[in-house]
């Protein structure tokens, strides 16, 4: 099983990589690059490491994709994520509780995600 989902959300032009377990998707950059290349994508890729890093300041990262590979030297921590994108992310995890279960998040945070009780402004 891969440790990420590559998604194009409605509210954002960037591709988004979501963690699907406690294992960071950053260990899968070659596989992610291959998927992005097949889609003829170029541009910024946003990584949400929620299930790996929790609700910490290093939860969101971005990296540029040049059409062939992700460029590690372009990695940045993202502090501001649009509320509508956060809502879509939380809905994704609400619909995929199996991923939440495979995380290292505390039980209270797992409960909130699995029951769609996280307000995108609250964390």
Please report the pLDDT score of residue 123 as a whole number: 53
In a domain, 11, yes or no: yes
Domain range for 15 is: 4-114
Please report the pLDDT score of residue 31 as a whole number: 96
Q: Distance between CA atoms of 72 and 37, rounded to whole angstroms?
A: 16
Query: Encoding tokens for residue 55?
Result: 């609700």
Contact predicate 3/24, CB 8 Å: yes
The number of distinct structural domains making up the chain is: 1
Please report the pLDDT score of residue 1 as a whole number: 65
Please report the pLDDT score of residue 63 as a whole number: 98
- DSSP H stretches of helix in the chain: 29-38, 50-53, 83-95, 97-101, 107-114
Percent of the chain predicted with pLDDT > 90: 79
Identify the residue whose tokens are 């994520």: 81
Please report the pLDDT score of residue 72 as a whole number: 95
In a domain, 119, yes or no: no
> What burial letters (b/e) apply to 13-33, b meaning 16+ CB within 10 Å?
eebbbbbbbebbbbebbeebb
Calculate the average pLDDT of the chain: 92
In a domain, 85, yes or no: yes
Q: Is the pTM of this model over 0.85?
A: yes
In a domain, 63, yes or no: yes
Q: Cα-Cα-Cα-Cα dihedral of 44, 68, 35, 105, to 10°?
A: -50
In a domain, 122, yes or no: no
């Amino acid at each position: 099983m891969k440790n990420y989902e590559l998604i194009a959300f409605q509210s954002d032009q960037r591709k988004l990589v979501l963690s699907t377990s406690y294992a960071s998707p950053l260990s899968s950059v070659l596989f992610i690059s291959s998927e992005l290349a097949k889609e003829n994508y170029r541009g910024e890729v946003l990584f949400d490491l929620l299930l790996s890093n929790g609700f910490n300041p290093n939860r969101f990262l971005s990296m540029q994709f040049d059409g062939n590979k992700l460029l590690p030297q372009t990695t940045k921590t993202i502090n501001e994520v649009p509320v509508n994108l956060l809502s879509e992310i939380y809905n994704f995890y609400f619909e995929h509780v199996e991923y939440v279960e495979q995380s290292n998040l505390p039980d209270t945070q797992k409960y909130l995600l699995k029951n769609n009780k996280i307000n995108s402004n609250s964390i």
